[in-house]
Structure 1
Amino acid sequence: MASIVFLFLIVSLLSLKDQTAASLSYSCAYRNTSVQFTLLTSAHSASNSASSCSLQQCNGTSADNQTCSLSPTPCFDYRTMNNISYCAPGVDCSVLQPCDNVTHSCASNDSVCIVNSCCSPSAVCLPVLTTEFCSRGWRMTGSMNSRRYFQAGSILVIGKVLVTGGHNGSFALDNAEQYDPSTGSWTTTGSMSFARTSHITSILPNGKVLVTAGHASSGLSLDSAELFDPSLGSWTTTGNLNGARFGHTASILSNGKVLATGGRNGGALNTAELYDLSTGNWTTTGNMNNARYDHTASILPDGKVLVTGGYGSGYLNSSEVYDSSTGLWTTTGNMHAVRYQHTASTLFNGNVLVAGGKDSSGTVLSSVELYDPSTGVWTTTGNMNNPRLWHTASVLSNGKVLITGGYNGFNYLNTTELYDSLTGSWTTAGSMNVVRSLHTAFVLSNGKVLIAGGYDGTNYLNTAELY
């Protein structure tokens, strides 16, 4: 029944897109009472013999409606008995079932009881899926079972998100959990063999997840690695790295091997090594020209790996490229700014966008630059609206880059912004509901971005939200 109703809603809502809100009206019957249902640009109203009401259209500016924005279908502010706000289009009254008059609950777990629908004197059940037509900006989703920052995670081949380890403010974690976008909830899964933070996860060609190194609660660097099998929900240990490290990078090469670079074990490292899934072993490869940690690594269109910045003998602006066919590193153009704890994103055109971080004076940066693999040259582009480090950067399905949260040197941030490579400029993308840094970000198969965990300057977070 729910799927039939939702199919009806999709057809109805798509038909609204080509009509003006001011002229649209229809009528339906509810318990032998005729209801005239009219959509207006300023309000959604209906009347019947028993009651009359006006339902406010969402404008996306009030505190209650900040995630309820205008769309081709007019969206309205529906309310529950507890005054919880839901943003959804005007729905034909004939498809909405009445709520239980006593409990104000719905027979379907996928619906919520709305008391101000204007469809009838009684409350009705609004399918939650209808809110997908109107939801814009940031909204909260299910919270993780554990508070964590400095965690690592990956999107599994089945579309779920795996988050592993991290720190809860007291100790490093060995637990892991999965987020299901279809339900918006997290479930625990098998725990790793080692508690670890500042580690890296990588999705292998066979769908398993490789976790590499990191450090323990004691701060001791780890050389261990292990594999997560999504089909079993369990972990198995695999070959140890040749060198313990954290603050490193791990990149999936075109040949399926994993390249681990640099990191820290007492001091900064210039070593690199390769993981071979077929043997479960690590082998050393050419050393980088510079020891570095808290750097970035990006896969270029030709399959080579670009490493940028970080901290070694000092704060770095150097970059170098790894060629898996030779196992050698070659230096390339220097960035205009020294930076570490920055982000790097490979754009659809093959260029690499580097944003923010901190320089040798301790200044948190708003500056941004682009690397062109065809020339090996860096050029500056538009600055972010906010300086930040410990933020995330996600390449969206439309090619834009979403930057979220972080720290500006004075305050922890909930601000977000979008980079448009066509204009070289940034626009604000609304504020997250929660201030956070050192969090993780995942671009889901449905195009939404999941933000999870982090630190707000006082609290270690288990909350998550969607853009």
Structure 2
Amino acid sequence: MIYINSIGQTTQLPNYSCSENNASIQFTLSSSFHSAWNQTSSCSLQQCNTSLNDNNNCLSSSTPCFDYRTINNISYCAPGILCSILERCNNITQTCSSNSSVCVINSCCSPQAVCLPLLATYMCKTGTDAYYLYFRLHRNQLKPFILVIGWFSTGNMSNARWGHTASLLSNGKVLVTGGYSVTVGILNSAELYDPSTGAWTTTINMTNVRYYHTASILSNGKVLLAGGADNSGTLNNAELYDPSAGTWTTTSNMTNARAYHTASELSNGKVLVTGGLYNNSINLNSAELYDPLTGTWITTGNMTNARWGHTASILSNGKVLVIGGFGNSGILNSAMLYDPSIGTWTITGNMTNARYYHTVSILSNGKVLVTGGFNGYITLNTAELYDPSIGTWTTTSNMTDTLELHTASVLLNGKVLVTGGRRNGNNVSNSVELYDPSTGTWTATNDMTNARYYHTASVLSNGKVLVTGGINVNFVTLNSAELY
């Protein structure tokens, strides 16, 4: 679904959008940040009656619609709209600046009343299902068009690269750093993607060339790059990017040089770095913490197993789940939990399959979805779920494709988008599939324009997914980028 917003931005959304008088609204139905996210809270939003068709009810459809009430107890039926785009009502008059919006007092977005766009009620009254509606203002009438979601190319990066990082900044831009280019070698270049224009611009180079590093968004908005490798070996240095100034500054070095490690920003603002590979020969079990307030690193408890090519996920309880990877005894199926409050690790249930080069995704229900990877013999299409509440793993349906070095992105509708990767025998994929947590099933969707692995995927604030770089089927490093 595509629309043009008030600043001329072309946007594709996973659910619903419409625009009128150069002002746009967008809807997401499975996000924890929309106006109907908590039906049991004090705002008392109720599910609309979909069996009737009048001004206050909805046609039966796949659209979850809610009953919004004004200060005069007038009812409006609309989906859950992203809180970040809603205007706040006037504190005194309880009115909205636009005649095309109404002030509602039972939104869950904030204690203050918010302005509900009246076009939202149209979505619930008409309903949508398999297709998406695009609206534009034409001679004061809204003209609908039916479109199907898919992929389209966006501007190319200045450098082809793989083994790089991509970070979504607080201003909505994406920062891409480092990586490897066949023509240039290991890179210290950095560039920015602006979703409002679809263009790339270079920013100041990093202090060090690096790939297989990590990038973490700190609570102050800066980006911490740590470790990786250059032409001389594994790195222990770290540096900070300041988006407001567009500059890099060095910060203190890690205790251990490492690549193929993980970095996770904890709820206390510190960054936990785990494991990794030292100079292509030593598997690390060490972990350390970066404190943005002091700019220093301190060691914390070691993992039971040394590992690299693993994943680390922050659970809803604040603990960090580390799974899989390549260890001293081979490829691992073990999983461990780090507790930031005491700085220690505990073993939790093992995965059904040993794997590395896999992906993990935190679902809206709190469970962790693990997909694909390599088990030492074959590339996997298996997927399994970790339940933090009981510490156990269960299998879920297999992906359509066997994949490693792919990406997995949790969309605003709660589904997981898996893109690209490498199949058995170095066969590179451009396939794309979606996992639906509500049914536990996979469905194929439109293929990417380019087959790629060792790429990145970033969910933008407008709901699109930006895929960058990687290696294609001919082992060529890519500078292309595309949007889902």
TM band (smaller chain):
0.7 to 0.9
Q: Distance in 1 between matches of 2:136 and 2:341?
A: 59
Q: Distance in 2 between matches of 1:200 and 1:174?
A: 14
SS of 1:284's equivalent in the other structure is: strand
Q: Which residue does 2:407 correspond to in 1?
A: 392
Q: Which residue does 1:317 correspond to in 2?
A: 333
Q: Which residue does 1:360 correspond to in 2?
A: 376
Pick from 196, 200, 212 the counterpart of residue 198 of structure 1.
212
Report deviation, 1:134: 3.6
Q: Which residue does 2:172 correspond to in 1?
A: 159
Q: Distance in 2 between matches of 1:335 and 1:187?
A: 42
Q: Distance in 2 between matches of 1:439 and 1:247?
A: 14
Q: Which residue does 1:346 correspond to in 2?
A: 362
Q: Distance in 2 between matches of 1:175 and 1:140?
A: 22
C-alpha offsets along residues 393-429 of structure 1, whole Å, 9 cap, x if unaligned?
0001111100000001131010000001111100012
Pick from 351, 371, 374 the counterpart of residue 386 of structure 2.
371
Q: Which residue does 2:158 correspond to in 1?
A: 145
Q: Which residue does 2:432 correspond to in 1?
A: 416
Asked if residue 440 in structure 1 is aligned to residue 456 in structure 2, the reply is yes
Q: Which residue does 1:425 correspond to in 2?
A: 441
Q: Distance in 2 between matches of 1:131 and 1:271?
A: 57
Pick from 197, 200, 218 the counterpart of residue 183 of structure 1.
197
Asked if residue 334 in structure 1 is aligned to residue 350 in structure 2, the reply is yes
Residues 6 and 22 of structure 2 are in contact (CA less than 8 Å); yes or no, is this contact kept in structure 1? no
SS of 1:431's equivalent in the other structure is: coil
User: In the superposition, relative to structure 1, how do residues 176 and 374 fare at CA in structure 2: closer, same or farther (>3 Å)?
Assistant: same
Q: Distance in 2 between matches of 1:358 and 1:176?
A: 30
In the TM superposition, 1:224-303 aligns within 5 A as: 224-265=237-278, 266-303=281-318
Letter in 2 for 1:438: Y
Q: Which residue does 1:169 correspond to in 2?
A: 182
SS of 2:336's equivalent in the other structure is: strand
Q: Distance in 2 between matches of 1:152 and 1:376?
A: 30
Pick from 231, 245, 250 the counterpart of residue 217 of structure 1.
231
Q: Distance in 2 between matches of 1:352 and 1:392?
A: 15
Q: Distance in 2 between matches of 1:156 and 1:413?
A: 29
Q: Distance in 1 between matches of 2:247 and 2:133?
A: 45
For normalisation by structure 2, the TM-score amounts to: 0.71
Q: Where has structure 1 moved over 6 Å in runs of 4 or more?
A: 2-6, 130-133
Report deviation, 1:315: 0.5
Letter in 2 for 1:278: L
Residues 131 and 146 of structure 2 are in contact (CA less than 8 Å); yes or no, is this contact kept in structure 1? no
Residues 133 and 144 of structure 2 are in contact (CA less than 8 Å); yes or no, is this contact kept in structure 1? no
Letter in 1 for 2:448: M
C-alpha offsets along residues 231-265 of structure 1, whole Å, 9 cap, x if unaligned?
11010000100000000000000100000000000
Q: Distance in 2 between matches of 1:277 and 1:213?
A: 16
Q: Distance in 2 between matches of 1:226 and 1:435?
A: 32
Residues 20 and 137 of structure 2 are in contact (CA less than 8 Å); yes or no, is this contact kept in structure 1? no
Report deviation, 1:459: 1.1
Report deviation, 1:169: 1.9
Q: Distance in 1 between matches of 2:257 and 2:438?
A: 42
In the TM superposition, 1:65-80 aligns within 5 A as: 71-72=132-133
Report deviation, 1:131: 12
Larger radius of gyration: 1
Q: Which residue does 1:459 correspond to in 2?
A: 476
User: In the superposition, relative to structure 1, how do residues 9 and 212 fare at CA in structure 2: closer, same or farther (>3 Å)?
Assistant: closer
Q: Distance in 2 between matches of 1:132 and 1:200?
A: 42
Residues 133 and 147 of structure 2 are in contact (CA less than 8 Å); yes or no, is this contact kept in structure 1? no
User: In the superposition, relative to structure 1, how do residues 460 and 132 fare at CA in structure 2: closer, same or farther (>3 Å)?
Assistant: farther
Report deviation, 1:10: 7.9
Residues 234 and 259 of structure 2 are in contact (CA less than 8 Å); yes or no, is this contact kept in structure 1? yes
Report deviation, 1:217: 3.0
User: In the superposition, relative to structure 1, how do residues 328 and 177 fare at CA in structure 2: closer, same or farther (>3 Å)?
Assistant: same
User: In the superposition, relative to structure 1, how do residues 336 and 132 fare at CA in structure 2: closer, same or farther (>3 Å)?
Assistant: farther
Letter in 2 for 1:324: P
User: In the superposition, relative to structure 1, how do residues 324 and 428 fare at CA in structure 2: closer, same or farther (>3 Å)?
Assistant: same
Q: Distance in 1 between matches of 2:417 and 2:244?
A: 31
Q: Distance in 2 between matches of 1:392 and 1:3?
A: 32
User: In the superposition, relative to structure 1, how do residues 297 and 131 fare at CA in structure 2: closer, same or farther (>3 Å)?
Assistant: farther
Residues 421 and 453 of structure 2 are in contact (CA less than 8 Å); yes or no, is this contact kept in structure 1? yes
The number of equivalent residue pairs is 358
Q: Which residue does 2:67 correspond to in 1?
A: none
Q: Distance in 2 between matches of 1:4 and 1:337?
A: 48
Q: Distance in 1 between matches of 2:459 and 2:241?
A: 20
Letter in 2 for 1:233: G
Q: Distance in 2 between matches of 1:382 and 1:239?
A: 45
User: In the superposition, relative to structure 1, how do residues 404 and 4 fare at CA in structure 2: closer, same or farther (>3 Å)?
Assistant: closer
SS of 2:289's equivalent in the other structure is: strand
Unpaired runs of at least 5, structure 1:
12-17, 19-68, 74-88, 96-129
Residues 464 and 483 of structure 2 are in contact (CA less than 8 Å); yes or no, is this contact kept in structure 1? yes
Q: Distance in 1 between matches of 2:332 and 2:6?
A: 56
Report deviation, 1:91: 8.1
User: In the superposition, relative to structure 1, how do residues 289 and 138 fare at CA in structure 2: closer, same or farther (>3 Å)?
Assistant: same
Report deviation, 1:135: 6.1
Asked which structure has the greater RCO (Cα within 8 Å, sep 6+), the reply is: 2
User: In the superposition, relative to structure 1, how do residues 165 and 332 fare at CA in structure 2: closer, same or farther (>3 Å)?
Assistant: same
Letter in 2 for 1:392: T
User: In the superposition, relative to structure 1, how do residues 241 and 148 fare at CA in structure 2: closer, same or farther (>3 Å)?
Assistant: same
For normalisation by structure 1, the TM-score amounts to: 0.73
Deviates more, 1:409-418 or 1:378-387: 409-418
